[in-house]
Amino acid sequence: MTFTFRPASRENVGLIVGLAGASGSGKTYTALRLATGMAAGKRFAVIDTEAGRSKHYADRFQFDHGDLTPPFTPDRYSEAIKAADDAGYPVIVVDSFSHEWAGEGGCLDWQEQEFERMGRNDRALMASWIKPKMAHKMMVQKLLQCRAHLILCLRAEEKIEMVRNDKGKMEVVPKKGRAGFVGWLPICEKSLPFELTTSILLLPDAPGCPQKLKIEDQHLSYFPPERPVTEEAGAALAAWARGEDVGQGTGITEAHYQVTTPAPDDRITAREAADLEAKCLEVGVPVANLMRAAKVERLGYIAKADFERCLHWVTEAGAKRQLASSDV
């Protein structure tokens, strides 16, 4: 067999983002914000195992919805995700992915059924995991081949354990997970969050603010822990995946978050925001770049007085991109 090698480049990289959190931590809302930024104005898909919870935000985000019902086997997740991928959605949100492990018909249920079938003895304990774990691994392999970007919402729960202190007494302490994280742990197969591109934890006392489970160094600036995750983080991740330069000087940095938020009466209209977005798409300028230049978290926050200036900025930025492309 002959292998061919060529210089490596980052282009059309599929992203898998994990968002773990307890109830009230902002998982669903944060996932929809990320997906909106990653989809760049296109509709994205939501696979919902939570009895339509994501539809609570249907008036704020543009997405198509599909229910996934029990049994929550790995194969059913793979089928649902493949259907959305085949339909051409740029981003697929799965809310919640924890059911694949701990839901009705999930891996834990499957193992229990196998254990019962094998006689519930010591020999059966390990063997009962063979089929569910193999199915889980096959599903993960299929996720890695998905063309769309994936956002997986995971429930999290506060874990504790008994340990012996330095005085020899047993005491209850928060349980340590992988990567040294303490307390809140995702409900899923233990290795899953660390097989994804990015995995963050959201806590109930700071909804939407990311705590690092796994974030590559080149993505750290997109997720400042003291601020909620925004559409811009999604746009920046998607731009990075396309091979664009969103590093030093163009990424989401602390300085970027020195944003302005004019009063509602001073903001551009929804039609003007749509016009700016359409212009960005027309000339090939990421909407996130415009929002960075205007120092706003959303297009709709741009001040009325800045509309013409922003329109001119997009036109010039598009011309520069076209010139740069023609010079290559």
- Give pLDDT, residue 288: 73
Mean pLDDT of 153-162: 77
* Beta strand extents in the chain (DSSP E only): 16-21, 44-48, 63-67, 91-95, 149-158, 160-164, 170-174, 184-186, 198-203, 206-214
This prediction has a pTM of 0.71
Same domain, residue pair 154 and 278: no
- Give pLDDT, residue 325: 54
Same domain, residue pair 311 and 212: no
Q: Using pLDDT thresholds of 50, 70 and 90, give the confidence band for residue 47.
A: very high
Residue 106: CATH number of its domain: 3.40.50
Number of domains in the chain: 2
Q: Is residue 6 part of a domain?
A: no
- Give pLDDT, residue 255: 38
Least confident of 20-24, 83-87, 179-183: 179-183
CB-CB contact of 310 with 290 (8 Å): yes
Comparing 155 with 282, the larger pLDDT belongs to 155
Same domain, residue pair 73 and 129: yes
Question: Residue 2's beta-bridge partner residues?
Answer: none
DSSP 120: S
274 pLDDT higher than 70 = yes
Q: Is residue 299 part of a domain?
A: yes
Domain that holds residue 43: 16-241
- Give pLDDT, residue 18: 96
- Give pLDDT, residue 5: 77
Q: Which residue has 């914000």 as its token pair?
A: 33
- Give pLDDT, residue 328: 40
**How far is it, in rounded angstroms, from Cα 151 to Cα 221?**
19
Same domain, residue pair 22 and 48: yes
Least confident of 104-113, 212-221, 282-291: 282-291
Average pLDDT, the chain: 84
